[in-house]
Amino acid sequence: MPDIKAIGFDLFNTLITVEPDTLVQAMKRMIKSLEDNGLSVDKSSYIKSYRDAASKFVAEARKSGIETHNSIWISHVFKGNGLSIPPEDERIADAINQYFSAFYDKVHLVPDTIETLTALGEKYTLGLLSNFTHAPAAQDILKKTGLAPCFDTILISGELGYRKPHPFVFEELARKLGTEKENILFTGDDPEPDINGSYKAGFKPVWFTYVKDNNVPIIKGTIQGEPVAPEIDAPRASSWKEFLNILESQYSK
Protein backbone atom coordinates (compact mmCIF):
# COMPACT_ATOMS: atom_id res chain seq x y z
CA MET A 1 0.00 0.00 0.00
CA PRO A 2 1.38 3.46 -0.90
CA ASP A 3 2.71 5.56 1.96
CA ILE A 4 0.48 8.36 3.20
CA LYS A 5 2.35 11.63 2.77
CA ALA A 6 -0.48 14.13 3.17
CA ILE A 7 -3.86 14.34 4.90
CA GLY A 8 -6.87 16.40 3.87
CA PHE A 9 -9.65 17.46 6.22
CA ASP A 10 -13.22 18.65 5.95
CA LEU A 11 -14.13 21.53 8.30
CA PHE A 12 -17.70 21.57 9.62
CA ASN A 13 -18.71 18.64 11.83
CA THR A 14 -15.20 17.24 11.39
CA LEU A 15 -12.92 19.80 13.00
CA ILE A 16 -15.58 22.13 14.39
CA THR A 17 -19.25 22.10 15.31
CA VAL A 18 -21.72 24.97 15.22
CA GLU A 19 -24.46 25.62 17.78
CA PRO A 20 -27.93 24.59 16.53
CA ASP A 21 -29.50 28.07 16.79
CA THR A 22 -26.81 29.75 14.69
CA LEU A 23 -28.89 30.08 11.52
CA VAL A 24 -31.74 31.67 13.47
CA GLN A 25 -29.40 34.30 14.88
CA ALA A 26 -27.71 34.75 11.52
CA MET A 27 -31.04 35.41 9.82
CA LYS A 28 -31.93 38.08 12.37
CA ARG A 29 -28.66 39.88 11.64
CA MET A 30 -29.19 39.62 7.90
CA ILE A 31 -32.68 41.11 8.06
CA LYS A 32 -31.53 43.93 10.35
CA SER A 33 -28.71 44.77 7.95
CA LEU A 34 -31.08 44.90 4.98
CA GLU A 35 -33.47 47.13 6.90
CA ASP A 36 -30.64 49.39 8.08
CA ASN A 37 -29.70 49.80 4.42
CA GLY A 38 -33.23 50.82 3.44
CA LEU A 39 -34.52 47.47 2.23
CA SER A 40 -37.54 46.79 4.39
CA VAL A 41 -38.78 43.22 4.31
CA ASP A 42 -41.62 41.23 5.77
CA LYS A 43 -39.65 38.98 8.11
CA SER A 44 -41.65 35.77 7.88
CA SER A 45 -42.07 36.04 4.12
CA TYR A 46 -38.40 36.85 3.60
CA ILE A 47 -37.21 33.94 5.74
CA LYS A 48 -39.35 31.46 3.80
CA SER A 49 -38.32 32.88 0.45
CA TYR A 50 -34.64 32.86 1.42
CA ARG A 51 -34.82 29.24 2.56
CA ASP A 52 -36.64 28.26 -0.63
CA ALA A 53 -33.99 30.00 -2.71
CA ALA A 54 -31.19 28.35 -0.73
CA SER A 55 -32.76 24.94 -1.27
CA LYS A 56 -33.13 25.59 -4.99
CA PHE A 57 -29.62 26.84 -5.63
CA VAL A 58 -27.88 24.39 -3.30
CA ALA A 59 -29.68 21.49 -4.98
CA GLU A 60 -28.42 22.76 -8.33
CA ALA A 61 -24.90 23.15 -6.92
CA ARG A 62 -24.90 19.63 -5.55
CA LYS A 63 -25.96 18.31 -8.93
CA SER A 64 -23.53 20.33 -11.05
CA GLY A 65 -20.67 20.71 -8.58
CA ILE A 66 -20.57 24.44 -9.33
CA GLU A 67 -20.71 26.39 -6.06
CA THR A 68 -23.48 28.85 -5.36
CA HIS A 69 -23.47 31.89 -3.05
CA ASN A 70 -25.79 33.54 -0.56
CA SER A 71 -25.77 36.77 -2.59
CA ILE A 72 -27.49 34.94 -5.44
CA TRP A 73 -30.20 33.71 -3.10
CA ILE A 74 -30.88 37.19 -1.70
CA SER A 75 -31.01 38.73 -5.17
CA HIS A 76 -33.43 35.99 -6.23
CA VAL A 77 -35.71 36.74 -3.26
CA PHE A 78 -35.91 40.44 -4.08
CA LYS A 79 -36.46 39.71 -7.77
CA GLY A 80 -39.44 37.58 -6.77
CA ASN A 81 -40.82 40.64 -5.04
CA GLY A 82 -40.34 42.87 -8.07
CA LEU A 83 -37.11 44.53 -6.94
CA SER A 84 -34.04 44.12 -9.15
CA ILE A 85 -30.94 44.07 -6.93
CA PRO A 86 -27.86 42.37 -8.39
CA PRO A 87 -25.93 39.89 -6.21
CA GLU A 88 -22.91 42.19 -6.11
CA ASP A 89 -24.90 45.10 -4.58
CA GLU A 90 -23.14 46.48 -1.48
CA ARG A 91 -26.33 46.20 0.57
CA ILE A 92 -26.40 42.47 -0.11
CA ALA A 93 -22.70 42.19 0.71
CA ASP A 94 -23.28 43.92 4.04
CA ALA A 95 -26.19 41.61 4.83
CA ILE A 96 -24.08 38.53 4.12
CA ASN A 97 -21.24 39.75 6.32
CA GLN A 98 -23.69 40.35 9.14
CA TYR A 99 -25.28 36.95 8.57
CA PHE A 100 -22.00 35.09 8.97
CA SER A 101 -20.87 37.21 11.91
CA ALA A 102 -23.34 35.15 13.96
CA PHE A 103 -21.16 32.09 13.43
CA TYR A 104 -18.02 33.41 15.06
CA ASP A 105 -19.01 32.95 18.69
CA LYS A 106 -20.94 29.76 18.05
CA VAL A 107 -18.28 27.48 16.60
CA HIS A 108 -16.50 24.95 18.80
CA LEU A 109 -13.53 22.71 18.17
CA VAL A 110 -14.06 18.97 18.27
CA PRO A 111 -12.09 17.68 21.29
CA ASP A 112 -8.33 17.22 20.72
CA THR A 113 -8.43 18.74 17.24
CA ILE A 114 -5.61 21.27 17.60
CA GLU A 115 -3.39 18.78 19.43
CA THR A 116 -4.00 16.13 16.78
CA LEU A 117 -3.34 18.45 13.86
CA THR A 118 -0.19 19.77 15.49
CA ALA A 119 1.16 16.26 15.97
CA LEU A 120 0.21 15.20 12.44
CA GLY A 121 1.79 18.30 10.99
CA GLU A 122 5.19 17.12 12.17
CA LYS A 123 5.00 14.10 9.86
CA TYR A 124 2.47 14.91 7.12
CA THR A 125 1.52 17.78 4.85
CA LEU A 126 -1.95 18.92 5.91
CA GLY A 127 -4.71 20.49 3.84
CA LEU A 128 -8.25 21.68 4.44
CA LEU A 129 -11.02 21.41 1.86
CA SER A 130 -14.39 22.81 2.90
CA ASN A 131 -17.73 23.29 1.18
CA PHE A 132 -18.63 26.79 2.34
CA THR A 133 -20.30 29.38 0.15
CA HIS A 134 -18.76 32.52 1.68
CA ALA A 135 -15.01 32.01 1.82
CA PRO A 136 -14.15 35.13 3.90
CA ALA A 137 -16.31 33.83 6.75
CA ALA A 138 -14.66 30.42 6.59
CA GLN A 139 -11.24 32.05 6.73
CA ASP A 140 -12.29 34.13 9.74
CA ILE A 141 -13.59 31.01 11.51
CA LEU A 142 -10.28 29.26 10.90
CA LYS A 143 -8.40 32.19 12.40
CA LYS A 144 -10.70 32.57 15.42
CA THR A 145 -10.51 28.86 16.27
CA GLY A 146 -6.73 28.73 15.86
CA LEU A 147 -6.99 26.21 13.03
CA ALA A 148 -5.47 28.29 10.24
CA PRO A 149 -1.80 27.79 11.23
CA CYS A 150 -2.30 24.01 11.30
CA PHE A 151 -2.61 23.71 7.53
CA ASP A 152 -0.17 23.94 4.66
CA THR A 153 -3.03 24.74 2.29
CA ILE A 154 -6.64 25.86 2.77
CA LEU A 155 -9.25 25.52 0.03
CA ILE A 156 -12.82 26.81 0.33
CA SER A 157 -15.46 26.01 -2.28
CA GLY A 158 -16.63 29.62 -2.36
CA GLU A 159 -13.20 30.61 -3.69
CA LEU A 160 -12.67 27.58 -5.93
CA GLY A 161 -16.02 27.94 -7.68
CA TYR A 162 -16.63 24.21 -7.30
CA ARG A 163 -17.64 22.08 -4.34
CA LYS A 164 -17.06 18.53 -3.15
CA PRO A 165 -17.54 15.95 -4.56
CA HIS A 166 -16.61 17.56 -7.90
CA PRO A 167 -13.27 16.08 -9.04
CA PHE A 168 -11.78 19.53 -9.61
CA VAL A 169 -11.58 20.37 -5.91
CA PHE A 170 -9.75 17.15 -5.07
CA GLU A 171 -7.39 17.64 -8.00
CA GLU A 172 -6.67 21.12 -6.71
CA LEU A 173 -6.08 19.82 -3.18
CA ALA A 174 -3.60 17.23 -4.45
CA ARG A 175 -1.84 19.90 -6.51
CA LYS A 176 -1.58 22.28 -3.56
CA LEU A 177 -0.34 19.49 -1.29
CA GLY A 178 2.26 18.55 -3.89
CA THR A 179 1.44 14.87 -3.44
CA GLU A 180 0.08 12.08 -5.62
CA LYS A 181 -3.56 11.35 -4.86
CA GLU A 182 -2.82 7.76 -3.89
CA ASN A 183 -0.60 9.11 -1.11
CA ILE A 184 -3.32 11.35 0.40
CA LEU A 185 -5.74 10.44 3.17
CA PHE A 186 -8.97 12.46 3.36
CA THR A 187 -11.32 12.56 6.32
CA GLY A 188 -14.74 14.14 6.74
CA ASP A 189 -18.18 13.54 8.20
CA ASP A 190 -20.43 13.77 5.12
CA PRO A 191 -20.45 10.51 3.15
CA GLU A 192 -21.25 11.83 -0.32
CA PRO A 193 -18.86 14.77 -0.70
CA ASP A 194 -16.15 13.64 1.71
CA ILE A 195 -15.98 9.87 1.54
CA ASN A 196 -17.46 8.91 -1.83
CA GLY A 197 -16.00 12.04 -3.43
CA SER A 198 -12.45 11.59 -2.16
CA TYR A 199 -12.47 7.86 -2.94
CA LYS A 200 -13.58 8.45 -6.54
CA ALA A 201 -10.85 11.08 -6.82
CA GLY A 202 -8.23 8.50 -5.87
CA PHE A 203 -7.69 9.42 -2.21
CA LYS A 204 -7.82 7.10 0.83
CA PRO A 205 -10.95 8.12 2.81
CA VAL A 206 -11.68 7.87 6.53
CA TRP A 207 -15.24 8.55 7.69
CA PHE A 208 -15.09 10.77 10.78
CA THR A 209 -18.26 10.20 12.82
CA TYR A 210 -17.63 12.09 16.07
CA VAL A 211 -20.78 14.21 15.65
CA LYS A 212 -22.94 11.29 14.54
CA ASP A 213 -21.76 8.87 17.23
CA ASN A 214 -21.94 11.37 20.08
CA ASN A 215 -25.31 12.84 19.09
CA VAL A 216 -23.80 16.32 18.97
CA PRO A 217 -26.51 18.88 18.07
CA ILE A 218 -25.82 20.47 14.71
CA ILE A 219 -27.26 23.21 12.55
CA LYS A 220 -30.53 22.27 10.94
CA GLY A 221 -31.10 24.08 7.68
CA THR A 222 -31.60 23.85 3.97
CA ILE A 223 -27.90 23.56 3.16
CA GLN A 224 -27.44 20.34 5.08
CA GLY A 225 -29.27 17.19 4.17
CA GLU A 226 -29.52 13.98 6.14
CA PRO A 227 -26.39 11.94 5.37
CA VAL A 228 -26.53 8.29 4.44
CA ALA A 229 -23.78 5.71 4.75
CA PRO A 230 -20.89 5.89 2.27
CA GLU A 231 -21.00 3.80 -0.87
CA ILE A 232 -17.74 2.13 0.14
CA ASP A 233 -16.61 0.34 3.26
CA ALA A 234 -14.35 3.13 4.50
CA PRO A 235 -12.57 3.02 7.85
CA ARG A 236 -14.61 4.85 10.48
CA ALA A 237 -13.36 6.91 13.42
CA SER A 238 -15.47 8.61 16.08
CA SER A 239 -12.56 10.37 17.79
CA TRP A 240 -9.13 11.61 16.88
CA LYS A 241 -7.61 8.79 18.93
CA GLU A 242 -9.44 6.28 16.73
CA PHE A 243 -8.37 8.20 13.64
CA LEU A 244 -4.72 8.00 14.69
CA ASN A 245 -5.10 4.28 15.34
CA ILE A 246 -6.46 3.78 11.81
CA LEU A 247 -3.65 5.84 10.37
CA GLU A 248 -1.08 3.78 12.27
CA SER A 249 -2.58 0.33 11.72
CA GLN A 250 -3.74 0.62 8.12
CA TYR A 251 -1.62 3.25 6.45
CA SER A 252 1.78 3.12 8.14
CA LYS A 253 4.51 0.62 7.40
238-249 pLDDT tens trace = 999 999 999 999
Lowest pLDDT segment from 38-42, 95-99, 229-233: 229-233
pTM flag (> 0.75): yes
What's the whole-number average pLDDT of the chain?
94
Domain of 146, CATH number, reads 3.40.50.1000
Residues of the chain above pLDDT 90, percent: 89
The pLDDT of residue 1 is above 70: no
One domain for residues 41 and 16? no
My answer on whether 38 and 60 are in the same domain is yes
Reduce the secondary structure of the chain to three states and give it as a string. CCCCCEEEECCECCCEEECCCHHHHHHHHHHHHHHHCCCCCCHHHHHHHHHHHHHHHHHHHHHHCECCCHHHHHHHHHHHCCCCCCCCCHHHHHHHHHHHHCCCCCEEECCCHHHHHHHHHCCCEEEEEECCCCHHHHHHHHHHCCCHHHCCEEEEHHHHCECCCCHHHHHHHHHHHCCCHHHEEEEECCHHHHHHHHHHCCCEEEEECHHHHCCCCCCCCCCCCCCCCCCCCCCEECCHHHHHHHHHHHHCC
Lowest mean pLDDT among 113-122, 140-149, 163-172, 215-224: 215-224
Mean pLDDT value across residues 72-89: 96
What per-residue confidence (pLDDT) applies to 227? 60
Last residue of a domain, one of 49, 81, 101: 101
Say if residue 29 is in the same domain as residue 16. Answer: no
The number of distinct structural domains making up the chain is 2
pLDDT at 103: 96
93 and 113 fall within a common domain: no
**Does position 112 have pLDDT exceeding 70, yes or no?**
yes
pLDDT at 222 over 70: no
Q: What is the mean pLDDT of residues 158-175?
A: 98
